[in-house]
Structure 1
Amino acid sequence: MRAITYDRYGGSDVLQLTDQPEPTVAPDSVLVRVRAAGVNPVDWKLRAGYLDGLLDVQFPVVPGWDVAGVVERVGLDVPELAVGDEVYGYARKDWVHGGTFAELVAAPVRTLARKPASLTFEEAAAVPLAGLTAYQSIERVGVAAGATVLVHAAAGGVGQFAVQILRARGARVVGTASERNHAYLRGLGVEPVTYGDGLVERVRALAPDGVDVVLDYGTDDLVTTTRALLADGGTVASITDVAARDELGGHHVWVRPSTADLDALARLIDDGAVKVDVARVFDLTETAAAHDLVAEGHVRGKVVVRV
């Protein structure tokens, strides 16, 4: 099968299109014919070696965790799925090796769910990691209807899912973003504020009594702003800063594969509560360019590779 691989850490130039053996399908896994794979910041960070020591790596690596495709073969103990099912998932395993930027991927059934019927494969591949991160961080803090939530990096890959899930739950959402993304956020029902100097005052102007929840998907000043803005009894969760847990008494969230959570996201999407914004689709041979675009950090919406 054709796959993108790298046999050493480095820049996007280490990515090569190679021929690889068909993956072995474990008893609790399925073989997925990949139609599209989502690109996330963790992909280029892993490739660059920044997470060495956190996850076991086996070279050559086929990168990628987000997938959308069709079940081609099922393992010996997978009653949940059948050949021909359209699936999507966050196919993260216990080591980094056989990823989703390939024609075929063997994925544990616990990492997959049926694809949202309303989405294309490219759109579905944009959802799993970012969508699950948003969903699980919201579940962790337990946002109720009527709560006021401050979302940092609200227009980013995770933030845009989070604000829509929050609005579907009846929360009021204040979101930090650059000026160029304010109109986009207003369209999602968010009250946008510009990050940077004066943020506390800008948020206080909208929420004089403070906010009930802070969700951090990217900010340089989490501790100071949270202490200034979080109402009594409120809580905070971050995917980037362990200080949310260690200094603020909240939560640090590392996303987990979950069929149940993917099913919940699919219902929200098919019900029209959550829209998927795909910024650009690359071909498999252009994976290096897709990595570079995501690494720039300025793209709104998700980047996807079509296989």
Structure 2
Amino acid sequence: MIRTIVTDPLSPSHLAFKEVDVPQAMPWEALVQVKTVSLNRGEVKDAMDQEASSRPGWDFAGIVIEPAQSGQGPQKGARVVGLLPMGAWSEQVAAPVSMLVEIPDKLTFTEAATLPVAGLTALYALRKGGMLLGKRVFITGSSGGVGLFAHQLAAQSGAFVVGMASTEEKSKLVKEAGADEVIIGYSAVSSASQFGPYDLIIDSVGGNTLAALLPQLAPQGVCVAVGFSSSNTATIDMMNLVTSGGRTLYSFFLGEELTRHSAADDLRLLAQLATEKRLIPRIEVEAPWTQIGTIARNLLERKYSGKVVLHID
């Protein structure tokens, strides 16, 4: 038997520990002893809405204890990072080798666990803008996990990058991540126009923020909507959008993106960049996974910038 975290509506945190059978790996899956997991606000929010005994969790890092029977993927003893659609908050997981990659020795399990969802989201969203050298990019939610990764990758691509933060303190983090300019306060989003128009906008806020950003797209520009932390509805000025022409609003869902991209190849790239310190995860909190209840609640209340990583005993 192993321990795992499940949803429990009767628990104050809506999460609880439960003993379950050791996972049985399919031929294309490796069995991994999990060392660390990172939390994403989206998965925590989803867990609050799920029925009892659902098993949340996306990002994990650990050691392969049984390689895939197919012979593909990392071998026994390999240090790995990967992601699952659910169930990663567990002592052991069976992970498809297509979602699993070996990590360099210099990369810690803590650093590796931050990469899958936040790193891949940032990477794939930026790719929607094509070659970014000399282009103007605007990123909302800049002090979050996705935002900080996106700023670092965009800056290294040669883009002029503008971010947005809720406070002066958080704006300093965004500057450190490579932003050329930072807009402070979500209500001041219209002031971003002074640095535009933008070839690429990555928005995780939605609502009025998304509506205010669309007119700031350059001709042939793309706005990638990766989330809606403020509101899941937006009133868009269709006359402005249609008469300007050529601009795109792209709906982004990582699960759908992974049907068209190699997660293993791109995780390998992110892991290498992190090893070379060209991509630096900002880890706000490290804690034992026994503190999942408190940590999850604080994450939902936006008390953290960057990433949260839990260590499994």
Q: TM-score, normalised by structure 2?
A: 0.85
Deviation (angstroms), 1:74: 1.6
What CA distance in whole angstroms lies between the structure 2 residues aligned with 1:62 and 1:180? 35
Residue aligning to 2:25: 25
Instruction: Determine which of 169, 189, 194 is the counterpart of 2:157.
Output: 169
Q: Does 1:147 align with 2:135?
A: yes
Deviation (angstroms), 1:143: 4.2
Deviation (angstroms), 1:44: 1.9
Instruction: Determine which of 49, 55, 68 is the counterpart of 1:62.
Output: 55
Residue aligning to 2:287: 282
Deviation (angstroms), 1:123: 1.6
Q: Does 1:129 align with 2:134?
A: no
Residue aligning to 2:299: 294
Residue aligning to 1:42: 42
Tell me the matched-pair count.
291
Counterpart of 1:158 in 2: which secondary structure?
Answer: helix
Residue aligning to 1:252: 251
- Within a 5 Å distance, the mapping from 1:215-294 to structure 2 comes to 215-240=202-227, 249-256=248-255, 257=258, 258-294=263-299
Residue aligning to 1:182: 171
Deviation (angstroms), 1:265: 1.1
Taking structure 1 as reference, are residues 76 and 196 closer, same or farther at Cα in structure 2, changes over 3 Å only? closer
Residue aligning to 1:197: 187
Structure with the larger RCO, 1 or 2 (CA within 8 Å, 6+ apart) = 1
Residue aligning to 2:195: 206
Of stretches 63-72 and 118-127 in structure 1, the one that deviates more from structure 2 is 118-127
Partner amino acid, structure 2, of 1:76:
Q
What CA distance in whole angstroms lies between the structure 1 residues aligned with 2:150 and 2:267? 14
Cα offsets for 1:196-221 (capped at 9, x unmatched): 334223x23334xx111111122432
Decide whether the 8 Å contact of 1:78 with 1:109 is kept in 2: no
Counterpart of 1:75 in 2: which secondary structure?
Answer: coil
Deviation (angstroms), 1:259: 0.8
Structure 2 spans left out of the alignment, 5+ residues: 242-247
Taking structure 1 as reference, are residues 135 and 6 closer, same or farther at Cα in structure 2, changes over 3 Å only? same
Deviation (angstroms), 1:3: 2.2
Structure 1 spans left out of the alignment, 5+ residues: none
Residue aligning to 2:244: none
Partner amino acid, structure 2, of 1:180:
E
Deviation (angstroms), 1:224: 2.9
What CA distance in whole angstroms lies between the structure 1 residues aligned with 2:288 and 2:8? 23
Percent identity reads 27
Cα offsets for 1:159-195 (capped at 9, x unmatched): 0010111111111100011222111222222111113
Taking structure 1 as reference, are residues 12 and 269 closer, same or farther at Cα in structure 2, changes over 3 Å only? farther
